[in-house]
Amino acid sequence: MPLNLDQIERLARLARIEISAADGGETRDRLNDVFALIEQLQAADTRGIEPMAHAFELAQRLREDAVTESDRREAYQAVAPEVEAGLYLVPRVME
Amino acid sequence: MINSSLKELGAALAEKRISSVELATLLIERIEALNPTLNAFITVDREKTLAMARDADRRLGAGLAGPLTGIPLAHKDIFCSEGWLTTCGSKMLANFASPYDAHVVQLMKAAGLVTLGKTNMDEFAMGSSNETSFYGPVKNPWDNTRVPGGSSGGSAAAVAARLTPAATGTDTGGSIRQPAALCGLTGVKPTYGVVSRYGMIAFASSLDQGGPMAKSAEDCALLLSAMSGFDPRDSTSLDRPAEDYRRDLEKPLAGLKIGLPREFFAAGMAADVREAVDEALAEYRRQGAVTVEVSLPSSGLSVPAYYVIAPAEASSNLSRFDGVRYGYRAPEYTDLADMYCKTRAQGFGAEVKRRILIGTYVLSHGYYDAYYLQAQKIRRLIANDFVQAFRHCDIIMGPTTPSTAFALGAKSDDPVEMYLSDIYTIAVNLAGLPGMSIPCGFGGEGGKLPVGLQLIGNYFDEARMLGVAHRYQLATDWHKRMPEEA
Amino acid sequence: MMEWEIVIGLETHAQLRTNSKIFSGSSTAFGAAPNTQANAVDIALPGVLPVLNRAAVECAIRLGLAVGGKIAARSIFARKNYFYPDLPKGYQISQYETPVIAGGSLAIVVGQAGQSYEKTVALTRAHLEEDAGKSLHEDFHGKSGIDLNRAGTPLLEIVTEPDMRSAAEAVAYAKALHALVRWIGICDGNMQEGSFRCDANVSVRPRGSEVLGTRREIKNLNSFRFMQQAIDYEVQWQIATLEDGGRIEQATVLFDPATGETRAMRSKEDAQDYRYFPDPDLLPLEISPDWIARVKADLPELPAEMKARFESEYRLSAYDAAALTAGREICVYFADCVAAAGRENAKLCANWLMGELAARLNKEGREISAAPIPPLQLAALVRRIADATISNKIGKEVFDALWSGEDKDVDAVISDRGLKQISDGGALEALIDGVLAANPKSVEEFRAGKEKAFNALVGQLMKATRGKANPQQVNELLRRKLSDRDVLRPPD
């Protein structure tokens, strides 16, 4: 079932992407084309089939509990939009 | 020199017929001349490149060189390279100088390869035409009105135009093989887990794999041997002994069983592609291989399954681009939520935003089972199809793409049409198998556009697959053809 | 008036005591300068990937064994997607459908000595996840500062069934869990530093109702006192709201210690939808029976096992046994004390530990590890009481001397101060005769049937001996003397 503009806007809010009023219709139409494509999956009979999340059925490898990292704050914050006193700054967080 | 194989370049460097600095300078000059038209590179940094070349020359002089020392290489701009701008083709990372090296970049440095620059790509590797790049489309060197394919379109165009002897690429649904086919080169997507994903900016984590793009299978074997190997920083990296992927290059083809999937040879393949592929298969038969029909009954659902799984993973992988710690931040906003929404609206292009929204939808409450879980089940069916098929053959062959390179803009307004360009390549990623594309002729108007033959190996069968490709390249010269402008 | 039943479930986040983070090699040490312990993985640079820390998994196995939960042979890490500045990836790696631990339970003792009861709280699950960073709201020109040092610190989230029926039960559970995680060495339990944080899901329903009421979740309770206050406030607020004809809306609330009230948070997302899915960067976590067996062999005797042992072997009450196993330190103190005093004196050791020692520590706000009387001294004191060298009452005087640090040796205190109990029958008899002669009125009253008068006579005797008379002997002798006189008494 095609999605309407409200549903698209809800997705955009979840994904934190602003959609301008002008682009809303175009976005909706293109997305609905894709949703029609993936709707084909519904026809397949997958009863009893295990979902496949990874290429191989392997177990997670574990890391030994050792501190291997040193402080590289200066290098990392050199590419940050806004920092002060070693902190990343953002618009005030409300709780 | 520009059409030499890596082996020939290595010999020339070793015998001091040319220095790494001379080679790098020659290629930088070619890039300066041709890149304004092709737009294959996003970043070229003569000083950094020449410093690496000088270092390589010292190693060559000191007799400390390996087979790749001093040879220039371009990296797809998805690989984090310390000190280099690493944009992933996006405005979001247009100012991101990476503070670290990807595993692949480290290995290539260690092998003595000289970084020539960072190549253009579809934004965050989402595209099949290289038209979604923030840095503009790449032109196909064989016909500048056409796309080079994507998402590793810059790497493909750069190798095709002989701006670099080789390049790295990544392949999530065909992003190495499809542009290799459309640009007339050899490109390999290894078995999932063979090449570390650490430092390779993630698109769809369970499908992404890095690999080499070069002129020949022999070159790719050499490069893959250098760029693969276990990496403890990637939990999905496979802990296997290092391999020399050249080991089966000379193995004869007699008795080789080639599986031809019925579904790949059904309607949908353009006549010129069909003709070139059939002729390539005939050459294999001449060399003693036999062809058998196999079936991949679920492969018809690979495109819709892929367009659930890949966007789902991408929607989550791309959440880190929020304007807080690096990358683009919108200049104006009212509060935190507005900063996020504007940053992401302005920093991402249309196709990336589309895929994030698709992924958000298929993972959202009430839809997860119907889409995401169902797609993963179909992924299993597709993988099982290949297991069945490999009971009857040693290698699978077919077309890489349904047609030769299409015109710029032809599909850019129709995402679904664009997605179908990867109809033959996507199933390989879903199964995690190795695959490659090699040039097998020309099609299009006037027969000037390359056609690719796709080879799909069984898990970890890269060496054999490369050998099968190499035997064909010994008998043909499609891979040596260059576009006129080059 | 309707009677209400309170229903509480707790979710506890215990930071695990590992050296490095759950998915990276950064240090987890507390208190470093901002963002100096946040590496490429922790700040989520493009291209980085997580690798799971073995020690974090081992902590989960320890807890699973300690609560009798089922340790999953195969569990899955999932991504919980939401945007928040202290969450660098835009998702938290957690476990969703298949957690590492399922089920299990924790026995608790609720209430004060004498009126306590035992209860078992069922656990739903425990899962591994990563902690977020911190948002600092000090004024950075009206902005918030983000410190990601804490991001990626391993957490075990331990979730109960909605089994608790009062704030006291919730606090008793939280204390028992707090003691347990420290006991098995998986968490330092430092609540000020946020190492052990609880969220309480609180609802009320008419007593007898089978249906759960709508719950509100009180977030981030970082002290037991606040937990008690917050739940008490929340419960009375919910009941008042319902009795006024209002409805409870599901919400996340914060407790404000300054006002003692709870208030609803501004929601993080208008419509919360975390879009959980298995993390494609991580493979299934497999835990072999071998590994579990190795961890089990390495586990200390657990508090529940010890509590049962104390009750059966030492005849301690459930309350005392629970109190003495509420923490590793008190338990070790008790064990050392019993070892020196003799098992037959275990009950007396417990009485002194739970009585005089606990009261003194409490009064001075000290931990048992800082008690001025070491277990061996207390054991010596207990032995002297047990062998009747001194009375229990005189024991307190000795205790005071030891506490003040004036003296270290129990026997020296007793002899130096002449505290040895008078247990010589002849001497006591003479003293009793004197007291009887001096208090004819009390004797008369006793004869008239006033039992109180007996106590007055004992008191006089104790006064005369400065408390050193053996109380048991005094009792016996005095009764005999008084009854002897009864024989002599002329008929009415």
Convert the pLDDT of each residue in B270-308 to its tens digit.
999 999 999 999 999 999 999 999 999 999 999 999 999
Mean pLDDT of A4-18: 95
- Per-residue pLDDT of C304-333, as tens digits, reads 899 999 999 999 988 889 889 988 889 999
The whole-number pLDDT of residue B154 equals: 98
The whole-number pLDDT of residue B267 equals: 78
C-alpha dihedral (B442, B445, B449, B454), degrees to nearest 10: -60
- Alpha-carbon dihedral sign for residues A48, A53, A57, A61: negative
Nearest by CB: C47 against B200, B206, B363: B200
Say if B115 falls within a structural domain: yes
Say if B210 falls within a structural domain: yes
Q: Is the pLDDT of residue C169 over 90?
A: yes
- Per-residue pLDDT of B154-164, as tens digits, reads 999 999 999 99
Pairwise pLDDT comparison (B19 vs C458), residue with the higher score: B19
Say if B375 falls within a structural domain: no
Domain that holds residue B118: 6-256
C38 three-class SS: coil
Percent of chain A with pLDDT over 70: 99
Q: Is the pLDDT of residue C491 over 50?
A: no
Q: Is the pLDDT of residue C334 over 90?
A: yes
Subunit contact B341:A80, Cβ cutoff 8 A: no
Would you say C195 and C188 are in contact if contact means Cβ atoms under 8 Å apart?
yes
Mean pLDDT of C200-211: 95
Say if B476 falls within a structural domain: no
- Per-residue pLDDT of C372-403, as tens digits, reads 999 999 999 999 999 888 888 888 988 988 99
The full set of domain ranges for chain A reads: 5-43
Q: Write down the H helix ranges in C405-492.
A: 410-416, 425-438, 440-447, 452-464, 471-488
DSSP C100-152: SEE--EEEEEESSTTS-EEEEEEEEEEEEEEPP-EEEEEEETTEEEEE-SSTT
The whole-number pLDDT of residue A95 equals: 60
C-alpha dihedral (C444, C448, C449, C450), degrees to nearest 10: -50
Subunit contact C144:A91, Cβ cutoff 8 A: yes
- Per-residue pLDDT of B364-409, as tens digits, reads 999 999 999 999 999 999 999 999 999 999 999 999 999 999 999 9
Number of neighbouring beta carbons within 10 Å of residue C188: 16
- Per-residue pLDDT of B448-467, as tens digits, reads 999 999 999 999 999 999 99
Mean pLDDT of A74-79: 97
- Cβ contacts of C67 within 8 Å, gap of 6 or more: C101, C104, C105, C106, C123, C126, C180
Number of neighbouring beta carbons within 10 Å of residue A51: 16
3-state secondary structure chain B: CCCCCHHHHHHHHHCCCCCHHHHHHHHHHHHHHHHHHHCCEEECCHHHHHHHHHHHHHHHHCCCCCCCCCCEEEEECCECCCCCECCCCCHHHCCCECCCCCHHHHHHHHCCCEEEEEECCCHHHCCCCCCCCCCCCCCECCECCECCCCCCHHHHHHHHCCCCCEEEEEECCCCCHHHHHHHCCEEEECCCCCCCCCCECCCCCCCCEEEEEECCHHHHHHHHHHHCCCCCCCCCCCCCCCCCCCCCCCCCCCCCEEEEEHHHHCCCCCHHHHHHHHHHHHHHHHCCCEEEEECCCCHHHHHHHHHHHHHHHHHHHHHHCCCCCCCCCCCCCCCHHHHHHHHHHHHCCHHHHHHHHHHHHHHCCCCCHHHHHHHHHHHHHHHHHHHHHCCCCCEEEEECCCCCCCECCCCCCCHHHHHHHHCCCHHHHHHCCCEEEEEEEEECHHHCEEEEEEEECCCCCHHHHHHHHHHHHHHCCHHHCCCCCC
Subunit contact A67:C20, Cβ cutoff 8 A: yes
CA nearest neighbour of B409 among B113, B214, B140: B140
Q: CATH no. for residue B154?
A: 3.90.1300.10
Backbone Cα Rg of chain A = 22
- Which amino acid belongs to residue C348? L
CA nearest neighbour of A61 among C305, B232, B61: B232
Subunit contact C148:A88, Cβ cutoff 8 A: yes
Q: Is the pLDDT of residue B437 over 80?
A: yes
Pairwise pLDDT comparison (C429 vs C294), residue with the higher score: C294
Would you say C100 and C57 are in contact if contact means Cβ atoms under 8 Å apart?
yes
Interface of A with B in 45-74 (CB under 8 A): 46, 49-56, 58, 60-61, 63, 72
Angular region, B436: left φ>0, alpha ψ -120 to 50, beta rest: beta
Q: Is the pLDDT of residue C337 over 60?
A: yes
Number of neighbouring beta carbons within 10 Å of residue B461: 19
- Chain B residues whose beta carbon lies within 8 Å of the beta carbon of residue C43: 325
- Per-residue pLDDT of B315-324, as tens digits, reads 999 999 999 9
The whole-number pLDDT of residue C487 equals: 39
Q: Is the peptide bond before C94 cis (omega within 30 degrees of 0)?
A: no
User: Which residue of chain B comes nearest to A55, CA vs CA?
Assistant: B432
Q: Is the pLDDT of residue B422 over 70?
A: yes
Would you say B12 and B60 are in contact if contact means Cβ atoms under 8 Å apart?
no
Pairwise pLDDT comparison (C454 vs C121), residue with the higher score: C121
Asked if C81 has any chain B CB less than 8 Å from its own CB, the reply is yes
Mutate to test the interface with C, among B87, B319, B344, B430 (most CBs of C within 10 A): B319
Percent of chain B with pLDDT over 70: 100
Q: Is the pLDDT of residue C163 over 90?
A: yes
CA dist B304 and B419 (Å) reads: 9
What value does the mean pLDDT of chain B take? 97
Confidence of residue C490 (pLDDT cuts 50, 70, 90): very low
Residues belonging to chain B? 486
Mean pLDDT of B474-482: 97
Mean pLDDT of C93-114: 94
Asked if C142 has any chain A CB less than 8 Å from its own CB, the reply is yes
CA dist C474 and C334 (Å) reads: 32
- Per-residue pLDDT of C29-55, as tens digits, reads 999 999 999 999 999 999 999 999 999
Mean pLDDT of C65-93: 97
| Sheet containing strand B114-119, strands side by side | B41-43, B114-119, B72-76, B166-171, B209-214, B186-189, B435-443, B449-456, B395-399, B257-261, B290-294
The whole-number pLDDT of residue C479 equals: 82
Would you say C148 and C86 are in contact if contact means Cβ atoms under 8 Å apart?
yes
CB pairs under 8 A between A and B: 170
pTM of the model: 0.91
Say if B412 falls within a structural domain: no
Q: Which two tokens stand for residue B457?
A: 């190996």
Percent of chain B with pLDDT over 90: 96
The whole-number pLDDT of residue C267 equals: 59
The whole-number pLDDT of residue B259 equals: 98
Say if B303 falls within a structural domain: no
Nearest by CB: B416 against A18, A33, A56: A33
Instruction: Give the residue numbers of B marked as catalytic.
Output: 76, 151, 175
Crossing angle of the two packed helices C440-447 and C452-464, in degrees rounded to 10 = 150
CA dist C125 and C70 (Å) reads: 9
A42 three-class SS: helix
Number of neighbouring beta carbons within 10 Å of residue B346: 17
Mean pLDDT of B337-351: 97
Nearest by CB: B415 against A13, A30, A63: A30
Which chains reach chain A with 3 or more Cβ–Cβ distances below 8 angstroms?
B, C
Subunit contact A66:C284, Cβ cutoff 8 A: no
Say if B64 falls within a structural domain: yes
The phi, psi pair for B101, rounded to 5°, reads -100, 140
The whole-number pLDDT of residue B170 equals: 98
The whole-number pLDDT of residue C488 equals: 42
Q: What ipTM was estimated for this complex?
A: 0.97
User: Is residue C158 within a helix (H) or strand (E), and if so which, with residue range?
Assistant: strand C154-160
CA dist B258 and C260 (Å) reads: 76
DSSP summary character for residue C226: H
Subunit contact B99:A79, Cβ cutoff 8 A: yes
- Cβ contacts of C134 within 8 Å, gap of 6 or more: C86, C146, C147, C149, C150
* Count of domains observed in chain B: 1
- Cβ contacts of C140 within 8 Å, gap of 6 or more: A84, A85, A87, A89
- Per-residue pLDDT of C212-250, as tens digits, reads 999 999 999 999 999 999 999 999 999 999 999 999 999
CA A51 to chain C, closest CA, distance in angstroms equals 11
Mutate to test the interface with C, among A18, A69, A70, A89 (most CBs of C within 10 A): A69
CA dist C159 and C123 (Å) reads: 6
